[in-house]
Amino acid sequence: MDRHFLSDTGQLMQILDSINLHEEIKLEEMPEYRLYISQLEEFFDKKLGRSASDEEERKTISKTMIQNYIKDGLLMPPEGKCYNRNHVILLTLIYNLKSILSIKDIRKLLSPILNDIDNEDSLTDIQYLYNTYLRLNEAALTGFSASLAESFERIKSQPKMEEKSDCEWEHIMLLLLVATLISEANARKKLAEHIIDKYFSGDGCKEES
């Protein structure tokens, strides 16, 4: 059998480890001092990596993106020309969310924070929210590893099509694995979008009389 293909769960876990799902920017890694926009770009390029291309649109977080986020209401304007740690936190969250959600949905999701951004307590809330997100995300990814291994074992246990060679059958198993991953991702995306539409499209929290 061609060992280029996955033959056991251990190999799949090695791939999962190699793509660094657990690498998030910790709060203590974010500068406490204020940054100019060029320093913000440099910080995110260093922490999140960037494409081999030097084109503007290939940057993880670019000047144009930041300006568009401010214009779209996803990010508060800088203080003068400088950005603080809360800008960095929001940009990190936006970066993580935009691979799945539309800008419109991200704006809705972040609106409870952004609507009260001038409140000093809200700044503390952003940092609390981000630290809690990191802890929950770490636990979720650990659970994902176990779930992925279980799914792969279930796929491998399916009856083999006798007319297929070992190589062809491994391709089929990988196709089924990818299709399963995409199906799960779509289900989670639909649930996230439904929650945003149902609970983040109004005027926020109102006290009952």
Average pLDDT per consecutive 10 residues, the chain (209 residues; last block may be shorter):
60 79 84 92 84 52 92 88 92 93 92 70 77 91 87 88 84 92 95 95 60
| Domain presence at residue 3 | no
- What is the per-residue pLDDT for 198? 94
Task: Tell whether 207 is covered by a domain.
Answer: no
> Cα separation of 126 and 123, whole Å?
5
List the end-to-end C-alpha distance of the chain, in Å, as a whole number: 70
CB-based contact 8:55 (threshold 8 Å): no
Confirm whether 171 is domain-assigned. yes
Q: Which pLDDT belongs to residue 143?
A: 86
Domain count, the chain: 1
User: Tell me, what's the pLDDT at 22?
Assistant: 62
Q: Please give the pLDDT value at position 41.
A: 92
Domain that holds residue 64: 9-199
Q: Is residue 1 part of a domain?
A: no
Does residue 15 form part of some domain? yes
| Residue 47, pLDDT score | 87
Give the residue carrying structure tokens 């409140």: 119
